[in-house]
Amino acid sequence: MEFKKVLLTEDEMPRQWYNILADIKMNPPLGPDGQPVKPEALAPVFPMNLIEQEVSPDRWIDIPEEVLKVLSIWRPSPLVRARALEKFLDTPARIYFKNEGVSPPGSHKPNTAVPQAYYNKVFGIEKLTTETGAGQWGSALSFACSQFGIECKVFMVRVSFDQKPYRKSMMEAWGGKCVASPSRETNAGRNVLENDPDTPGSLGIAISEAIEAAVSDESGKTRYSLGSVLNHVMLHQTIIGLEAKKQLEKIGEYPDVVIACAGGGSNFAGLAFPFVHDKINGKNIDIYPYEPTACPTLTKAPFVYDHGDTARYTPLLPMHSLGHAFVPPPIHAGGLRYHGMSPTVSQLVNEGIIEAKSATQLDAYKAGVIFARTEGFIPAPETNHALAGVIDAAKKAKEEAKEKVILFNWSGHGLIDLTAYDKYFSGELHNFVLTDAEMSESEKVFENFPKPQTLKSR
């Protein structure tokens, strides 16, 4: 019998994270005065041990044993050969996926939620606030906080709060408190509701609320936790790609193509950054982040300095952005509805080390259904965008008659997203494509901000 899965033992789990800041040049985040933000300025928002990781120049950072102990509940995750999908597509490509849906919350998000909860705990923090789009991050942080005895409060984007009620139930099962954003609990939320009582919300708004809730706690025992975008989040996720490299080495394979969906950048970075390191050092490999056409941050938006949140509480970040006031269309891939993109992922696109692509909502769901009917697993809406890219790459390999190795991140299951599948099957889902006029309007918010420099790392 030909193998289906490549497994690692717990002893083979990576003991260090890969820090891409050691290998690329970056514009610094800027404060209100237009000057680079000093690490201590972030102290009201994050614990200093995570701030140190955020700015660390070290290529390898040790994973604490206490973190590894919790990660070992589900890690190492399987590397799976998608043989049935290959057969369906009649492609010479060999397709492998990293199954991150095996974690308790069902996605890749706990890979950073667990270390973030741990570092906050040892720093003396008693409560974390955060935002969530599709609910995967809110679920993951609630789970992680339950492991370390920390309170967790989640501001969930309203459209997803309404679309995915069982995500709220998951958070509550782990002790998290979930409220719809924008809410009446913060100044940021109240201001948005006054202007637009029927807003579907956005990640930018939810981030503003979570930050405000953290910094306004006079006890000093609350901090904010972010599920994507910043470098320490990308860092923690690299355990995915580092495991995948070990698993492929076991069977004598190496990818020609690496694919993952991209919203803020974390699951993409987690799989791709260890291979980006190889590409920077001479490997010939194509690396594609896939995003929705409804929120084309990497594929259409400019590289600018912009705030990571709607109320402009965050520093100015160098990133591809649709504008911090942008409210994306209510597509069901809530985790991909973010106006900006991780600065590190943005920088790699700028340098041509990776190439951004996009998929429509209907093409994404079509790909997800093909995967479910071949490989059996029902993918999350976000993961479906990666699958659309995998199918395109596999078809291209067939056209070129090349035996390419395609590796992608199956970033989570869709068992809490079946309402969206119902709407797809009944023809109620539609494609959203932003017009040039809509994009021009949303981008006005950063016209007077400083401009990032063009940097080259190689």
pLDDT in tens, 83-117: 999 999 999 999 999 999 999 999 999 999 999 99
205, β-bridge pairs: none
Query: For the chain, what are the domain ranges?
Result: 64-106+234-446
Say what the pLDDT of residue 231 is: 96
Residues with pLDDT less than 50, the chain: none
- pLDDT at site 321: 96
The phi and psi torsions of 205 (rounded to 5 degrees) equal -70, -45
pLDDT of residue 335: 74
Tell me the CATH architecture of domain 64-106+234-446: 3-Layer(aba) Sandwich (3.40)
pLDDT at residue number 170: 95
Strands 405-410 and 94-99: parallel
pLDDT at 238 (0 to 100): 98
79-81 and 5-6 strand pairing: antiparallel
> How confident is the model at residue 381, as a pLDDT?
94
Q: What is the pLDDT of residue 458?
A: 67
Q: How far apart are CA 111 and CA 67, in angstroms?
A: 9
Residue 30 tokens, joined: 């800027």
Nearest to 290 by CA among 437, 392, 423, 141: 392
User: Distance between CA atoms of 257 and 410, rounded to whole angstroms?
Assistant: 15
What DSSP string describes 381-411?
Answer: HHHHHHHHHHHHHHHHHHHHT---EEEEEE-
pLDDT at 1 (0 to 100) = 53
- Prediction pTM value: 0.95
